[in-house]
């Protein structure tokens, strides 16, 4: 039972990103935010004057641009407060842009609004506290609720008469939504098993 609980905890944490993209409306990219982990790493790098703090967030081929921008930022910061703010912003944007590039994702600037999904915040907090119990509770309830809703919608629309095409199409639409959600969740477990076999 303990082994099963540990497995459940690990897989539920992994589900955070993909399940919410599969079942819920899209949210702005986590790492694009001014309060996201990439910018936090960039701030720490400037505070400690240690670029290694932020290099872990970019691919190796992007290191030279990050290092060059980092050195220039440290020099410009010495001029005055306004120059410091502008230099810092440029550094943050460079780091986030290259991080996104390494993910083959688009970048359209830093997000200054708090657009991060509350569940993603819980995930970050769980890592900081080294305790996923609160996250698992909320996430599992949310997944169960949404899957149950999709399932109920399918069942309710499944009794259509064969000659009513529009009702049949409504059933198919709900069926596809439900099956795709289950499929995407199942893929996470399949990918995890695949990686475990590789290692």
Could you state, in order of their start, the residue ranges of all structural domains in the chain? 2-27+117-194, 41-102
What's CA 10's distance to the chain center, in Å? 16
**Is 11:189 a contact under the CB 8 Å cutoff?**
yes
Average pLDDT over residues 112-135: 78
pLDDT at 119: 75
Long-range contacts formed by 109-114: CB under 8 A, 24+ apart = 109/32, 110/32, 110/33, 110/34, 110/39, 111/28, 111/29, 111/32, 111/33, 111/34, 111/36, 112/33, 112/34, 114/33, 114/35
d(CA 53, CA 42): 7
Calculate the average pLDDT of the chain.
79
pLDDT at 90: 95
**What is the arithmetic mean of pLDDT over 54-74?**
93
* Residue 185, C-beta contacts closer than 8 angstroms, at least 6 positions apart: 15, 18, 19, 22, 143
Question: What is the value of pTM for the model shown?
Answer: 0.55
pLDDT digits (tens, 9 = 90+) for 130-189: 988 888 888 888 889 999 999 999 999 888 776 677 887 888 788 888 998 888 888 877
The dihedral through the CA atoms of 38, 39, 41, 45 has a sign that is positive
Share above pLDDT 90 across residues of the chain, in percent, rounded to a whole number: 31
Question: What mean pLDDT is predicted for residues 82-100?
Answer: 94
* Residue 141 confidence (pLDDT): 87
């Amino acid at each position: 039972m303990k082994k099963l609980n540990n497995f459940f905890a690990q897989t539920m944490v992994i589900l955070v990103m993909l399940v919410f993209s599969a079942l819920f409306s899209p949210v702005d990219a986590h790492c694009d935010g001014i309060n996201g982990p990439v910018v936090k790493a960039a701030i720490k790098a400037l505070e400690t004057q240690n670029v290694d703090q932020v290099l872990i967030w970019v691919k190796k081929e992007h290191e030279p641009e990050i290092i060059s921008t980092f050195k220039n930022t440290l020099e410009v910061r010495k001029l005055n407060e306004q120059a410091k703010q502008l230099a810092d912003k440029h550094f943050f944007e460079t780091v986030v842009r290259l991080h996104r590039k390494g993910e083959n994702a688009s970048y359209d600037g830093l997000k200054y609004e708090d657009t991060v999904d509350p569940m993603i915040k819980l995930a970050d907090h769980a890592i900081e506290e080294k305790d996923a119990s609160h996250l698992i509770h909320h996430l599992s309830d949310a997944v169960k609720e949404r899957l149950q809703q999709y399932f109920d919608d399918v069942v309710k629309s499944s009794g259509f008469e064969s000659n009513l095409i529009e009702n049949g199409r409504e059933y198919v639409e709900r069926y596809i939504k439900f099956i795709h959600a289950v499929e995407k969740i199942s893929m996470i477990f399949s990918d995890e098993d695949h990686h475990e076999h590789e290692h």
